[in-house]
Amino acid sequence: MAYVSSLAPGYAVKGKPHKTKTGLEIPLEINKGDNDFYGKTINDLIVNVDYETAERLHVKIADKDAKQFPVPDSTYGMERPKLRKPAKKTNYDFSYTENPFGFKVTRKHDKEVLFDTNDYPLVFEDQYLELSSAVPDDANLYGVGETTAPFRRNNLKQLIHLPNNNLFILTECFYILYIIERELTITCFLLYSYGAHPYYNEIRDGKAHGVFLLNAHGMDVFFAEGRVTYKVIGGILEFYFFVPKDGRPNSVLEAYTDLVGKPFMPALWMLGWHHCRYGFNNISHVNWAVDGYKEANIPLETIWVDIDYMDHEKDFTFDPVNFPEESMIALSKKMHANSQRMITMVDPALSTNDSYPPYERGREMDVFLKNNDGSELQGQVWPGYTAFPDWWHPKTAEFWEYEITEWMKLLDLDGLWIDMNEPASFCLGSCGTGKANTDPQIQFEMDPEEAAKVHAQEQIALDAMGTGVPGDSRNLLYPKYAINSGGGNLSERTAPMTALHYGDIPHYDIHNLYGHAECSLTRDILLKYKPTERPFLLTRASFAGSGQHVGHWTGDNHSQWEKLKSSISEIFNFQMFGVSYSGADVCGFFLNTTETLCTRWMELGAFYPFARNHNTLGTINQEPFVWDRTAEASRRALSIRYSLLPYYYTLFEESHRVGTGVWRPLIFEYPEEETFLDNDVQVLIGTDLLLTPVVEENATSVDAQFPKGIWYDWYTNEAYESTSAEEKITLEAEMEHIPLHIRGGSILPTKTPEYLVTDTYASPYTLVIALDKKGRAEGRLYIDDQHSVEQPETSDITFTYKNGVLKARGEFGYKDTEKIGAIKIIGAQEELTTASYKGDKVKVTKKDGALVAEDLDIDLSCKFTVKFR
C-alpha cells in the first residue's frame, strides 16, 4: 500500500496570507487531482502560525468552516495558552511553500531543519488526515504512544497506534505485526495502549527538539527511514514544536510541560512502598499480607484493595461474606493507627442493576453515555451490564462528587485507583440493553465457539443501530482507513464509536480523552473533599497533560524477564510525557512469577518513581516475604529508597516546578554521548544516581556504561573514573544486590531508613558529599510540610563543597525543626580530622573508605558553613 500523500494533489495558498496578533494566517485550497482517498476531502483550510514563546511554535491546520472536532480547550482536553502578542525573539524559523503547500521549522542558530513537510503533500479529509516530515535516515526519536517498544524509535521502521484500548487478546505474547507500507516492513508494537501521547523528542548531534500533535482521534504514527508519517482518522492537525536555546533534551521536556501542564507534586507518603493484588480471597488475606510485611521487616506504606472487596464487582459496595463493610473499615483504622495508608479501586462503569443506588441516582440525573438513537448505552464490565458516566455532561460533576465523597468518608481512604477507564467494555455495542438484572458470562472466559456466536450477534445489533450519528455523514464504526487498534474494530472492548456524549459529540471524536477527563474531574472532587491535602489518584488511561492530575502505572504486564526490562523504557516514556509519578507492576501482573524474577524485580521496583507490587487473580502469592532471598533483596533495596526519600522528594519538587523526569535515560542528561542513544536499561535517578539493574535470568553480573567522571559505589564508596562513555565494565551483582553509583560532584540529602516514611523522616539528615576530580560537589534539598497543597513555608537549600568548606545557601522559610546529624565525604584526597560549625569542633572518622562527621546538630532554618580541617 503506497502512502497516500504520494498520490495526493495537496493544497495551494489561496490569496494573500495576513498577519495576526500572534503570527500568521494562511488560507489554503485543494489542488486539482485525485482525492477522497479515505474520506470526504475538505477543500478549504486555514493555517494559523503562532510564535507563542521563544522556544514554542504553534502550527494549526484546520478546516475553514470549523466542522472538524479539535481537542477541547478545557481541562478535559487541553487548555491553550492565552496570547496577546508573538514572541519577539525565537529560537526557530518558520517558512512555507505555496504550491503544493508545505512548511519547515528550522533551528535558528545552526539552520538545522527540524520538521519539513515539503516533499509530502498534505491530505485533509473528514476521516483521514496525513502529514509527513523528513527526518534523518537513522533518526533518534523518543516517545509517541504508550507501548512496550524499545525507548529509541530509530530506524527500526516502527508503527505506533494511538487508540486507548484494553484488548486481552494481546496479552499472551509480545505481539508483532508486519505491515507492508510503502514497500517497507514495519515492526508494530501493539501490547496494551492505555494512553495516547502523540509527542516525540528527537536528538540530532547532541541537540534536541520536540514535536507534539494535539489530536485525540485514533492515529497511526510511522517511523521509517527518512520520514515520520501521521495518519489520523479525524480532527485537525494542530502541532506544537519545542526548540529550546540550549538544545538539551530535558529543556525540551520543560517546554512541553509548560504547555500541557507540570506533573503534580506527590505527598511524601506516596513515595513509600505500596502493595496490592487482584485476588485477595478475603479480608484475612489482606491482613495476612500487611502483617507479613511487618514480620519480615520489609517496609510497607500503603495497602491497596482491588475489586475483590466489592459485592459482585460493583463500585462503592462490599462483599458481605469476604469483605464485609465493618472489616474494611477496621482495616482502614488499623492502617492509620500504624501511620500507614489505604487505597481502593474505583472503575467508571456502573452496574445497571435496578437495585444499585449509584446507577439509580445517575439514571435520574441522566448522566450516562447514550447510544446514537438516544437510548442509554449499556456495555459489560466486571459487574455485568454497565452504564458509563459521561464526564462532559453538566450534571456528572455533581453525581460523581456525591459517590466519590461518600466513599472516601466511609473508609477514610487516602486515595483512589481508577482502572478500566479507556473506557473498557467486554462486549461490542450496547449488549446490556433490556438485560439489567442478569449475570452475563464474560466473552473471553467462554468457549471460543460460543464467544464467537455471541460476538456475531452483538455485531449485528450494533450495525443495526447505524454506522453514524444524526446529522453526521461519517462512518464512525468503520472508517475507510482502519487504524490497527488490535481488535479489528475501533469499538472492540470499549464504547462504540457511535455512542453520544453531551452535546451530541460522538465517542469517536473524544474516545482518547475519556480517562483524562475522568482524572481531571475526580482530582477536583478529591481537592474539594480535603482542600488542603494533595490528592492521590492513579489512572490507567491517559492523554497529554494527565500527569498534572494523576499518576500512572503501565497496566497489566506479565511476569516475564522481557517485561522486567521493558518496564524501564515504559517509565522513561511517561517521565517524558510529564507523568513523573509512574511505575510498573513489580514482579508482574499476569502469570506466576518466580523467586529469581521477583527478586530482581523487587530490586528494580524499589527505585520506581511509583513503587508497587501487584499481581492478578489465580496466580501465586508474590508478596516479597514469600521467599527468603526475595525478602532480603527487598529489605536492602527499600532501605536505600527510604534513605533517599529527601533526594526523591526534592526531585519530585523539581519535576513539579520545572517538568523534568525523576527517572532519566542517560542520553537525556548526556546527549553529546552517542553511545547512550540505545541505552534503555540503565537509569539515572535525577542527575546524581546511576542504577544498573540485572534484567536477565540467572545473571550474577551486568555490564555498565558510565558518563565521563568519577562514580562511587553506593555500598563500598569505591571510586571508578570513567574516561570514555563507550567503555563497558562488568559489575558483580549477586542475587540480593543491585548496583548503584553516586556521581562525583554531587551532594545527596539522606535519612536513616525505618519501616515507615514518617519514622524515616523523623531522623536527622545525613549529607553524602561525593567529590569530583577537583574535590568539589554541590546538591539541593527541598523541604516543606510534605502533604499540603499550599505551602506558606518552604526551604530550598543549595549545598556546595569546595576546598574543605561546606556551605548551605538559599531560601530557609520552613521553620519546623530540621537538623543535619551527620556529614559523609567520599573521595577526599586529604586526611580531614575535624569539622567546625559555629565554633564547635566534631571529630571526623574514617569508615568504609569515607570520612564521617557524626553527632552534629546543624539547624536547617538558616544558612550555615562547616569547615573541615
Catalytic residues: 419, 422, 556
Question: Do residues 738 and 689 lie in contact, with contact meaning Cβ atoms separated by under 8 Å?
Answer: no
> Closest Cα to residue 793, out of 785, 781, 803, 804?
785
Helix (H, G, I), strand (E, B) or coil at 103: strand
Contact 833, 869 (CB under 8 A): yes
Gap between the Cα atoms of 632 and 456, Å rounded = 52
Backbone angles phi, psi at 215, to 5 degrees: -155, 130
* Cell reading at 580: 513523573
Q: How far apart are CA 82 and CA 636, in angstroms?
A: 50
Q: How many CB atoms lie within 10 A of CB 80?
A: 18
Check: CB of residue 571 under 8 Å from CB of residue 554: yes
Measured distance CA(521)–CA(539) in Å, rounded: 13
Closest CA to 649 of 763, 764, 532, 784: 784
| Ordered strands of the 101-107 beta sheet | 92-98, 101-107, 113-116
How many residues in total does the chain contain?
869
Cβ atoms within 10 Å of 99's Cβ, excluding its own? 13
- Could you say which DSSP state residue 609 is in? S
CA distance 296 to 80: 51
Distance in angstroms (rounded) separating the CA atoms of residues 562 and 559: 9
Judge residue 632's burial from the number of C-beta atoms within 10 Å of its C-beta, 0-12 exposed, 13-18 middle, 19 or more buried.
middle
- Phi and psi at 658, nearest 5°, equal -105, -40
Instruction: Compute φ and ψ for 657, nearest 5 degrees.
Output: -85, -40
User: Residues 665, 681: contact at Cβ < 8 Å?
Assistant: no
The position carrying cell 551486568 is 702
Calpha distance 14→374 (Å, rounded): 42
Pairing of strands 384-387, 350-351: antiparallel
Rg, Å, the chain Cα set: 28
* Nearest Cα to Cα of residue 305 among 294, 297, 327: 327
One-character DSSP codes across 832-850: --EEEETTEEEEEEEETTE
Place of cell 565554633: 839
Residue 404, all three cell numbers: 466519590
CA–CA dist 525, 429 (Å, integer)? 30
Round to whole Å and give the CA distance between 811 and 822: 21
Q: Give kind and range of the element (H or E) at residue 529.
A: helix 514-529
The rounded distance, in Å, linking the Cα atoms of 615 and 111 is 51
Helices (H), 178-282: 249-260
Cell numbers describing residue 393 = 455532561
Cross-strand bridge partners of residue 221:
160, 230
Written as nine digits, the cell of 852 is: 564521617
Question: Quick one: cell of 605?
Answer: 521496583
Are 731 and 702 a contacting pair, CB within 8 Å?
yes
In angstroms, the CA 605 to CA 624 distance is 12
CA angle 771, 571, 54 (to 5 degrees): 75
User: How far apart (Å, rounded) are the C-alpha atoms in residues 281 and 309?
Assistant: 9
